[in-house]
Structure 1
Amino acid sequence: MTPTLRTARLLLEPYVPEDEEGFVALFQDTRVSQWMGDGPASEADDRALFGRIFTKVYARELFDVWAVRRDGVLIGHAEIKPTGVVDGHEIIYALTPTAWGGGLGTELAERLVAYGFGTLGLAEVHATVAEQNGASLALLGRIGFTHVRDIEEDDGTVTQVLTRHRTTAPLHSPELPPVRSPE
């Protein structure tokens, strides 16, 4: 079961059905979705993706997926999951554009890495980022990720594979323990 996690300013908790509109709005914003998966999708596809979080990911406990909240408002999405692209675990995160530029992305990425190293016991954590996404590449570089290789996509674009090893010293606080929601 996906645990609830905290940072200084963020709460990461499993999605609830009432998050659907916020999830769809996040993924329908092309400033966000251009960097996610295969890029922008239809609203129907994003709604289906949200449904699969419950019917597939949570139901089968495949990997951890979180709604990212600040002051009770859904402002982002986060995952850490095994992937064959890097033969390991990859972090995935997105924030609404109104949350950009204040260090929340760094805070979120660091928390995902800490969870991967601490709770999951991983030796390394990966990220795949479009070569044109300079903001994410810079953020990940600041927190200890290094470029490993490039993947040339079918459309000719390049995705960079970045890795952070457990031996890389954390730049912020050590992992905070998971916080369980009251049941």
Structure 2
Amino acid sequence: MTPALRTERLEFLPYRPEHEDVFVALLRDAEVCRWMGQDLVPEPEIRTLFRAILTDVYPQRRFDVWGLWLAGTYIGHAEVKPTGNVDGHELVTALAPGYWGRGLGGEAVRGLLRHAADHLGLTEAYGMVGAENTASLALCRRLGFRHVRDVVAEDGSVTKLLVIPTTGTGGAAGGEGSG
């Protein structure tokens, strides 16, 4: 079962049925979708995805997925999951735009790295960041991610495949200038 996690300011809580509306609102935000490299999906599809987390992902222990909470307010989403791009696990974070630039992205990634090392036994983790997402790429550089290769989609868009060791990244507390 996905455990609850804590960092200095954030709570990583497994989703519960009552979180569906905030999850949908996050993934219906055009800016969030743009930087996650996905199209804006119709609301019914997002609701189906959310329900699959509760009925498939958690019961089958497919991967760890959380809602991110700051002082009791839902601010985003996080995952550690196997990736199809390499033999390894990918870290996924998405924050609501109102929480960008407060160091919460870096804090969330450090929390995921700690979980990956301490609970999953991973020695490294990957990130996929759109080449145009300069803020997230800068955050990844500050955290110590290293570029592995570019992944070019059929439409010509480029995503940077990055890797980082799960240990020696400064722990899970503290904040970054942006992210």
C-alpha displacement of 1:43: 0.9
In structure 2, the CA distance between the partners of 1:144 and 1:133, relative to structure 1 (3 Å rule), is same
Confirm whether residue 11 of structure 1 aligns to residue 11 of structure 2. Answer: yes
**Residue of structure 1 in register with 2:108 after alignment:** 108
**Residue of structure 2 in register with 1:72 after alignment:** 72
Confirm whether residue 123 of structure 1 aligns to residue 128 of structure 2. Answer: no
TM-score (norm 2): 0.92
**Residue of structure 2 in register with 1:62 after alignment:** 62
Which consecutive residues of structure 2, in runs of 5 or more, have no partner in the other structure? 174-179
**Residue of structure 2 in register with 1:23 after alignment:** 23
| AA matched with 2:74 | L
TM-score (norm 1): 0.90
**What stretches of structure 1 move > 4 A for 4+ residues in a row?**
none
Which consecutive residues of structure 1, in runs of 5 or more, have no partner in the other structure? 175-183
**Residue of structure 2 in register with 1:135 after alignment:** 135
**Using the alignment, how far apart are the partners of 1:173 and 1:79 within structure 2?**
15
| AA matched with 2:118 | G
| AA matched with 2:15 | Y
1:28–1:43 contact (8 Å) kept in structure 2? yes
Confirm whether residue 82 of structure 1 aligns to residue 69 of structure 2. Answer: no
2:111–2:171 contact (8 Å) kept in structure 1? no
Give the secondary structure class of the aligned counterpart of 2:39: coil
- 1:26-41 equivalences under 5 Å are 26-36=26-36, 38-41=38-41
C-alpha displacement of 1:166: 4.0
Q: Could you tell me the percent identity over the aligned residues?
A: 48
C-alpha displacement of 1:45: 1.1
**Using the alignment, how far apart are the partners of 2:67 and 2:172 within structure 1?**
22
C-alpha displacement of 1:59: 1.5
**RMSD of Structure 2 on Structure 1 (CA):** 1.3
**Residue of structure 1 in register with 2:165 after alignment:** 165
